[in-house]
């Protein structure tokens, strides 16, 4: 019980510190949220703010108040579950983030499930058949895939699958028609639009999981208990699944949890290349625009995500490896 | 790797493929092509875009494309075509001699999308409402100059201004969207109204669908439109990363390019089935001098720098010819406000050096700030200045950082760009966003022209302002990037560029007139 209490306290302190940093760090960057509204160089922004309008707007968004007052407002809003109003996007921060997060979870989440399952499977097979043709073949393929810059991989897929062969759309999350028709048509269309960006993510992140699994498996396969199981005449496949893999998974759990945590930013390059909605570009744009409320909200969500996964990894670890729990007891 | 350079790389890759291969098979889509041909078939048009906010008059992002999305739903009293101002909701108007009293006669029988009639009451309400809610929108309409309104009868309304406003036609009358009184009356914070009511306008289209995260807008034609039924039944904007690729794969029917994207435009020029329109340039890249501290508080040194910098080389090497050398008076050569007769500073390093020596400014060492997007321009300027003995350290930051430094005045030299140069209002702060230039005579002249309603008189004053800028050089302008529209001619070929830009000066070729008979 004490142990759990300490854990909760630890996480609470982390959250408070992060919330505070979250508020002050964006405000320490040079420039303010009005810089980007009308000014970023582009051919289509004809309007400039007069100094009078700037002052009006700063007041409208409460940015002319003392910093501590703003901090207090921010905490008060959070307590009420109100993330604030985005200055650049001119909409509630909560709804902007939810709108984007859905797509990130769909794109990054499904891709993660695929590359993790595939990475673990292939890594285990590779280690089991160490030195064989299939192991060397896999290793080479994975290494060469892993050395491609991810956005370049995405562009290559577009050039061939969309431009040359016309098999998949060049980008977007769904077509305008499907979005309005809804139902099964929409599901099909979303899946169809998922293929290229999803494939890019899978190919990009697969090598990491594969290599960790392979290494971890190789060390486990050399252990005494595996040799014992084999010498007892246990079926090869059972040795792999029951004895070797569960133990090899320990270091993988940490990696996977971290991967999931950083998924929010990790899909950014794919979002850019495929014009796919998501959190990565949102956070990038919020930073560029110094959109304080949106930055705070987005970081908060990312933070909760990372912390929750850390917690989950802690728990899974304890369950996979009983020694972890025993040491603490 | 920044997003910008990523985009650029993607563009290069695609261009290499587009240029190098023959015409590929069109991209397959789940949907059968629904474009054009055959009477009775719905005509749909797909345009490239991104999210520019909910298209209500108070929620769109304060950038050109945001205004364009909104302008499809809402109308203004007057509008603009290729040649200038045309009647729109107002059939006729009269201005009093002192320029403060405007009387509009509205077009009869105009209906809101919900079927209610649009009357003088709505127009009067609109002006009062915008005046009362000045903090609620981030668009520089001079609504603070509105004094009062009077409704004379159902179709006649008078607008009184606090003082004569030059260019009121563009800034106020020709770009302020008229909103329905029966919806907005009683709405306290207009930016937060997001229901379907917020997009009930009188415009040629109605909003069918909007997705913020996907950057999608779907409009359907308003078949009862008072200026004629739109020629396009459905208009869709989708988010696109690479406009050339989207047009090439028939994902979209239109693309807009500028500056160094000239290479993509040239590729389309030689392809069958595409139309290309050369646009004007209402954007300028300029070198800003900090005139408040040495060394550039001395105008002679600024002129020396003007002789040292080879602007032609920047245009050729950085933009590949996708720009023209800028007018030293800032305003675009594509407007009537532009003064073509300004001083010239030829590229002459020796002369520059002599001027520097005379001013006893040898061994200068400076800091030049700019965004990563203009690093190449900065490099060439660094090169040119080092050739005359000025040491330059280039520092880049993201846009908001540079904007912040410029506003604080912590810089010697900066490269920054902005639009709006079809409109003399841009001359208010030649060094924008820096507020470093102080010249009382210039400010006085600016105020005088801003209150001069008579066009010829105003032009003389605006020309004089440009002369001062070109002589005193608070900024040395570099180039105006060109713009192009490329479109699929089989779908729609009525594209054009609006004189001095849509509304207040939006340079893109998306005027709602294009979709009208």
Query: ipTM of this model?
Result: 0.85
CB proximity A99 to B under 8 Å: yes
List the Cα angle B291/B296/B299 in 5-degree steps: 85
CB proximity A49 to B under 8 Å: yes
Q: What is residue B304's predicted lDDT score, i.e. its pLDDT?
A: 95
Q: What is residue B114's predicted lDDT score, i.e. its pLDDT?
A: 96
Q: Which residues in chain B are contacts of A184 at CB distance < 8 A?
A: none
Q: Which of residues 483-512 of B touch A (CB under 8 A)?
A: 483, 501, 504-508
DSSP calls for B404-440: HHHHHT--SEEEEEE--TTSGGGGGSTTTT------H
> Is residue B98 predicted with pLDDT exceeding 50?
yes
In this structure, are residues B155 and B89 in contact, taking their beta carbons and an 8 Å threshold? Answer: no
Pick the residue from chain B with its C-alpha nearest to A179: B209
Give the mean model confidence (pLDDT) for residues A90-106.
93
In this structure, are residues B162 and B147 in contact, taking their beta carbons and an 8 Å threshold? Answer: yes
What number of other Cβ atoms are within 10 A of residue B114's Cβ?
A: 13
Substitution target from A82, A176, A267, A269 for chain B, most B beta carbons within 10 A = A176
More confident residue, B213 or B363: B213
Q: Which residues in chain A are contacts of B144 at CB distance < 8 A?
A: 52
Q: What is residue A250's predicted lDDT score, i.e. its pLDDT?
A: 82
Average pLDDT, chain B: 89
Instruction: Give the distance from residue A49's alpha carbon to the nearest chain B alpha carbon, in angstroms.
Output: 6
More confident residue, B336 or A56: B336
Substitution target from A35, A44, A96, A270 for chain B, most B beta carbons within 10 A = A44
Q: Which residues in chain A are contacts of B501 at CB distance < 8 A?
A: 46
Question: Could you check whether the bond before residue A240 is cis, i.e. omega within 30 degrees of 0?
Answer: no
Nearest to B244 by CA among B22, B66, B10: B10
d(C-alpha B88, C-alpha B245), whole Å:
36
Say if the Cβ atoms of A175 and B371 lie within 8 Å: no
Q: Which of A30, A51, A176 sits opposite B405 (nearest CB)?
A: A30
List the Cα angle A284/A290/A295 in 5-degree steps: 60
Q: Which residues in chain B are contacts of A42 at CB distance < 8 A?
A: 63, 419
Q: What is residue A325's predicted lDDT score, i.e. its pLDDT?
A: 53
Q: What is residue B36's predicted lDDT score, i.e. its pLDDT?
A: 40
Q: What is residue B478's predicted lDDT score, i.e. its pLDDT?
A: 97
> Is residue B25 predicted with pLDDT exceeding 70?
no
Say if the Cβ atoms of A41 and B248 lie within 8 Å: no
Phi and psi of B416, rounded to 5°?
A: -150, 155
Give the mean model confidence (pLDDT) for residues A17-29.
87
Residue A148's Cα: distance from chain center in Å?
19
CB proximity A281 to B under 8 Å: yes
Tens digits of residue pLDDT in B381-427? 999 999 999 999 999 998 888 988 998 899 999 999 988 898 898 89
Tell me which of A236-240, A280-284, B504-508 is least confident: A236-240
> Is residue A46 predicted with pLDDT exceeding 90?
no
In this structure, are residues B80 and B498 in contact, taking their beta carbons and an 8 Å threshold? Answer: yes
The secondary element (H helix, E strand) that includes residue A208 is: helix A183-221
Instruction: Give the distance from residue A106's alpha carbon to the nearest chain B alpha carbon, in angstroms.
Output: 14
Q: Which residues in chain A are contacts of B505 at CB distance < 8 A?
A: 46
CB proximity A46 to B under 8 Å: yes
Pick the residue from chain A with its C-alpha nearest to B60: A90
Q: Please state the pTM of the whole predicted model.
A: 0.88
Q: Which of A39, A170, A188 sits opposite B399 (nearest CB)?
A: A39
Specify the pairing of strand B365-371 against strand B413-418.
Answer: parallel
Return the axis-axis angle of helices A133-146 and A110-128, rounded to nearest 10°: 140
Q: Which of residues 200-259 of A touch B (CB under 8 A)?
A: none
**DSSP three-state, residue B87:** strand
CB proximity A55 to B under 8 Å: no
CB proximity A52 to B under 8 Å: yes
Q: How confident is the model at residue B28 (pLDDT cuts 50, 70, 90)?
A: very low
CB proximity A277 to B under 8 Å: yes
């Amino acid at each position: 019980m004490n142990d759990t209490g300490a854990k909760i306290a630890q996480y609470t302190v982390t959250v408070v510190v992060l919330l505070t940093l979250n508020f002050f760090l964006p405000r320490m960057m040079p420039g303010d949220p009005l810089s980007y509204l009308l000014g970023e160089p582009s051919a289509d922004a004809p309007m400039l703010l007069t100094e009078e309008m700037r002052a009006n707007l700063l007041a409208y968004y409460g940015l002319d108040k003392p910093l501590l007052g703003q901090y207090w407002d921010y905490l008060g809003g959070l307590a009420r579950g109100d993330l604030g109003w985005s200055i650049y996007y001119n909409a509630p921060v909560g709804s902007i983030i939810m709108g984007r997060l859905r797509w990130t979870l769909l794109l990054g989440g499904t891709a993660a499930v695929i590359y993790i399952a595939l990475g673990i499977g292939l890594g285990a097979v590779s280690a089991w058949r160490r030195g064989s043709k299939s192991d060397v073949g896999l290793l080479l393929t994975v290494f060469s895939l892993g050395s491609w810059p991810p956005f370049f991989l995405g562009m290559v897929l577009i050039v061939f699958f969309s431009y040359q062969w016309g098999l998949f759309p060049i980008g977007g999350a769904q077509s305008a028609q499907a979005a309005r028709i809804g139902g099964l048509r929409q599901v099909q269309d979303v899946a169809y639009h998922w293929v290229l960006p999803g494939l890019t993510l899978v190919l990009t992140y697969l090598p990491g999981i594969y290599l960790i699994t392979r290494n971890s498996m190789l060390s486990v396969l050399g252990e005494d208990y595996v040799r014992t199981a084999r010498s007892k005449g246990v079926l090869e496949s059972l040795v792999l699944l029951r004895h070797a893999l569960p133990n090899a998974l320990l270091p993988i759990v940490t990696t996977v949890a971290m991967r999931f945590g950083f998924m929010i930013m990790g899909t950014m390059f794919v979002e850019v290349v495929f014009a796919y909605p998501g959190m990565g570009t949102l956070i990038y744009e919020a930073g560029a625009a110094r959109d304080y409320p949106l930055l705070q909200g987005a970081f908060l969500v990312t933070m909760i995500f990372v912390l929750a996964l850390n917690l989950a990894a802690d728990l899974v670890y304890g369950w996979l490896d009983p020694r972890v729990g025993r040491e603490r007891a | 790797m920044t997003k910008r350079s990523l985009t650029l790389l993607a563009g290069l890759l695609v261009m290499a493929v587009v240029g190098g291969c023959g015409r590929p098979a069109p991209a397959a889509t789940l949907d059968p092509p629904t474009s054009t041909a055959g009477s009775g078939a719905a005509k749909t048009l797909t345009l490239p875009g991104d999210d520019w906010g909910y298209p209500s008059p108070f929620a769109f992002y304060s950038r050109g494309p945001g205004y364009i999305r909104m302008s499809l739903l809402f109308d203004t009293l007057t509008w603009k075509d290729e040649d200038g101002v045309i009647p729109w909701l107002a059939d006729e108007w009269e201005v009093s001699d002192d320029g403060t009293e405007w009387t509009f006669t509205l077009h009869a029988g105009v209906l809101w999308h919900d079927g209610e009639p649009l009357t003088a009451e709505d127009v009067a309400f609109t002006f009062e409402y915008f005046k009362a809610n000045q903090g609620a929108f981030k668009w520089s309409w001079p609504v603070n100059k509105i004094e009062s309104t009077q409704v004379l009868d159902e179709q006649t309304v008078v607008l009184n201004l606090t003082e004569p406003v030059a260019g009121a036609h563009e800034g106020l009358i020709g770009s302020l969207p008229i909103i329905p009184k029966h919806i907005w009356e009683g709405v306290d914070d207009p930016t937060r109204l997001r229901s379907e009511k917020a997009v009930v306008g009188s415009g040629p289209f109605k909003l069918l669908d909007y997705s913020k995260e996907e950057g999608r807008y779907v409009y359907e034609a308003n078949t009862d439109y008072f200026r004629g039924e739109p020629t396009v039944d459905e208009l869709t904007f989708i988010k696109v990363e690479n406009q050339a690729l989207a047009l090439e794969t028939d994902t979209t029917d239109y693309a807009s390019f500028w500056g160094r994207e000239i290479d993509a435009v040239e590729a389309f020029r030689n392809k069958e089935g595409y139309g290309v329109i050369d646009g004007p340039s209402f954007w300028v890249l300029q070198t800003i001098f900090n005139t408040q501290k040495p060394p550039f508080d001395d105008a002679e040194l600024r002129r020396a720098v003007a002789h040292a910098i080879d602007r032609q080389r920047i245009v050729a090497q950085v933009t590949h010819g996708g720009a023209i050398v800028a007018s030293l008076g800032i305003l675009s050569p594509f407007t009537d406000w532009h003064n073509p007769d300004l001083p010239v500073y030829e590229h002459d390093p020796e002369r520059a050096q002599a001027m520097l020596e005379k001013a006893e400014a040898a061994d200068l060492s400076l800091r030049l700030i700019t965004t990563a997007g203009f690093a190449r321009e900065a490099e060439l300027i660094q090169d040119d200045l080092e050739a005359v003995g000025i040491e330059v350290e280039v520092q880049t930051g993201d846009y908001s950082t540079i904007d912040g430094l410029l506003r604080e005045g912590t810089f010697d030299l900066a490269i920054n760009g902005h639009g709006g140069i079809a409109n003399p209002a841009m001359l208010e702060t030649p060094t924008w966003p820096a507020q470093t230039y102080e010249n009382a005579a210039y400010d006085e002249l600016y105020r005088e022209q801003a209150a001069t309603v008579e066009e010829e008189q105003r032009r003389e004053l605006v020309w004089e302002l440009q002369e001062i800028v070109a002589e005193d050089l608070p900024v040395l302008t570099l180039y105006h990037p060109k713009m192009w529209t490329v479109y699929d001619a089989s779908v729609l070929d009525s594209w054009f560029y609006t004189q001095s830009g849509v509304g207040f000066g939006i340079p893109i070729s998306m005027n709602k007139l294009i979709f009208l008979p």
